[in-house]
Structure 1
Amino acid sequence: MKISEIDMVTPKSVEECLYFLSDQEKEVRLIAGGTDAVVRMKDGIGRPETWINIKGMDSLRYIREESDGIHIGPLTTHTDMIHSQLLWKKADVLASASNEVGAIQIQNMGTIGGNLGTASPAGDTIPPLFVLDARIELNSIKGKRIVPITEFFNGPGHTIQKPNEMITDIIIRPQEENEMGTFEKLGPRKAQSISIVNVAMSLKMGEGQRECLEGRIAFGSVGPTVIRASKCERMLTLSSLTDDTIKDVADIAWKEVMPITDGRATAKYRRSMASALLARGLYRLMKRWDEK
């Protein structure tokens, strides 16, 4: 079967899209940016009977702040997030990650909803969403439900999203004025390919010298899903974040991750790089803090 022989429908509204998704007679899949779809079909997976093309549904492409958090539409592209002053001010860890996604062409086409739906453990925008306590709104013809991102993923390529559901909103926690974040990534080529290891982190700082009141750290590509580094997070608040303390925190990271060996890297290499990336990110954050 050629790709051109697959049926495609283009709904004009969310309601019409949900109607197509509710059709149990056909195997259907949503497509927006499509940056992953063709690759998967060439590998013999993810080939539906009908594509539901939602790329032009502008009602699902937005970034805005409301009383309950920052809302991001699932069709918001990585380029949209890179250019968002709101995200750089109140969710810099997510904007930073978007800046590291693929090449410019991928940033222009790829969407945050697609990154979530693909559910790759190496997805660059997913660790920042863990750090920002994201909530995912899932919509079906039967109604809506909102789930925390910690409950959204079941494993590599698998989520709790039902076949008749689509992501219609992503809500994240805005960072506070004394909070700053960053994203670090290791790939075979800089910003061009899938992560070997990545890490998102955000620190809430106090008035003392390099005093960390709270830290959030999430690793990608080192386990079946994103891993929160709870031991490292606790260590961040025990003493001033001197260079020696940062080294001690980073040394613990290898115990938190659960990588595998595959064609891109060995498990041992990933463990070492998880520690190195965490240290690099913390050093950079402290440099930013010292310069304030």
Structure 2
Amino acid sequence: MMISDTAVLSPKTVEECLGIIANSDRDFRLIAGGTDAIVRMKEGKWRPEVWVNIKGISELRYIKKAGQQIHLGPLTTHTDIVNSEILKGAAEVLIDAAREVGAAQIQNAGTIGGNIATASPAGDTIPALYVLGAVIELSSADHKRYIPIEEFFIGPGRTVKKDHEMITNIIIQPQDENEISIFQKLGPRKAQSISIVNVAIALSMEKGTNICLGGKIAFGSVGPTIVRAKKCEAMLTIEPLTIDHIQNIAKVAWKEVMPISDIRASAQYRRDMASSLLERGLYRLMKRWDER
């Protein structure tokens, strides 16, 4: 079979796939949902000698509880995430993010593993995985290793994954009863565009109050990789999350992001929108918390 004059191999098991990539002497690239690959090929990029089509490896598509963790297979689609009963209440931020990934067709075809492997700073699910403390399992023919997601990305389109490795599991920490989370995105929805700015927020709250015991904030599309807003996070616990304090936290976000100007938005606009998205997200989280 050929795609764009490139040979395609279609392994049916992880073991078979790892054998192929361990022994290949030709330039290859893994492909799953293909939503990113189609775009890159149209741009004249991603022209390997061989596509290794892993879509048929059914053992890589799952969402399951494992002890105190939740495991997601890399071939889990965005639609799978949105519809998952396991993730409801346990990873709302990831459900929110998956719901924002393009149109229904993209959600049905695109996979969480593909979103991670593409390593776009604008990838919607990646900030959500940051605040859920995700760990990426990388497998090769002879070993496995586990990389915290914050150590996985080293630049736009670049990760620590080696050529002979593939993502075989994504491990997240589910929310406790006193934890709430949300994902916010700025991007013309009608155009199903990639994010101009996005943010994932996860908070641990004191029961019956608006006192935050700790939290994580991760911005996308405002730097070469995802940006953890450490100064904003430190402010979360200083005093109760009132309207005034939320506004003060949002102002600090302007200083934490590192955006560039491009054809979609200026750096100044991205800074302003990062603050606005964080403020809106914190307001919505407090409303959710109050309604519990």
Q: Secondary structure at the match of 1:185?
A: strand
How far, CA to CA, are the matches of 1:191 and 1:71 in structure 2?
32
Partner of 1:82: 82
1:103–1:191 contact (8 Å) kept in structure 2: no
Q: How does 1:95-134 map to 2 (within 5 A)?
A: 95-134=95-134
Task: Provide the aligned C-alpha RMSD in A.
Answer: 1.2
The alpha-carbon deviation at position 208 of structure 1 amounts to 5.3
Q: Secondary structure at the match of 1:142?
A: coil
How far, CA to CA, are the matches of 1:209 and 1:119 in structure 2?
38
Cα-to-partner distance string for 1:219-272 (whole Å, 9 max, x where unaligned):
000000001101101111111101111000000001110000001000000000
Partner of 1:247: 247
Q: Secondary structure at the match of 2:23?
A: coil
The alpha-carbon deviation at position 4 of structure 1 amounts to 3.4
Amino acid aligned to 1:63 = I
Partner of 1:19: 19
Q: How does 1:92-171 map to 2 (within 5 A)?
A: 92-171=92-171
The alpha-carbon deviation at position 3 of structure 1 amounts to 4.0
How far, CA to CA, are the matches of 2:44 and 2:289 in structure 1?
48
> Does residue 57 of structure 1 match 2:57?
yes
Amino acid aligned to 1:242 = T
Q: How does 1:265-280 map to 2 (within 5 A)?
A: 265-280=265-280
C-alpha spacing 1:251/1:150, structure 2 compared with 1 (3 Å): same
The alpha-carbon deviation at position 47 of structure 1 amounts to 1.0
Percent of residue pairs identical: 63
The alpha-carbon deviation at position 189 of structure 1 amounts to 2.9
Cα-to-partner distance string for 1:137-180 (whole Å, 9 max, x where unaligned):
00111211111111100100000101111000000011111101
Give aligned pairs, total.
291
Partner of 1:189: 189
TM-score calculated relative to the size of structure 2: 0.97
How far, CA to CA, are the matches of 2:149 and 2:272 in structure 1?
27
How far, CA to CA, are the matches of 1:191 and 1:218 in structure 2?
24
Q: Secondary structure at the match of 1:36?
A: helix
Cα-to-partner distance string for 1:17-51 (whole Å, 9 max, x where unaligned):
01111134101111100001011112121111011
2:138–2:144 contact (8 Å) kept in structure 1: yes
1:32–1:53 contact (8 Å) kept in structure 2: yes
How far, CA to CA, are the matches of 2:145 and 2:223 in structure 1?
27
How far, CA to CA, are the matches of 2:101 and 2:155 in structure 1?
21
Partner of 1:264: 264
The alpha-carbon deviation at position 289 of structure 1 amounts to 1.0
How far, CA to CA, are the matches of 2:110 and 2:153 in structure 1?
20
Bigger mean CA offset, 203-212 vs 143-152: 203-212
The alpha-carbon deviation at position 86 of structure 1 amounts to 1.4
Q: Secondary structure at the match of 2:164?
A: coil
1:101–1:191 contact (8 Å) kept in structure 2: no
The alpha-carbon deviation at position 207 of structure 1 amounts to 3.0
The alpha-carbon deviation at position 115 of structure 1 amounts to 0.3
Cα-to-partner distance string for 1:35-75 (whole Å, 9 max, x where unaligned):
01011112121111011111121100000111151100000
The alpha-carbon deviation at position 119 of structure 1 amounts to 0.2
Q: Moved runs in structure 1, 4+ residues, more than 3 A? A: none
Q: Secondary structure at the match of 1:33?
A: coil
Cα-to-partner distance string for 1:55-103 (whole Å, 9 max, x where unaligned):
1211000001111511000000000000012112111111111011100
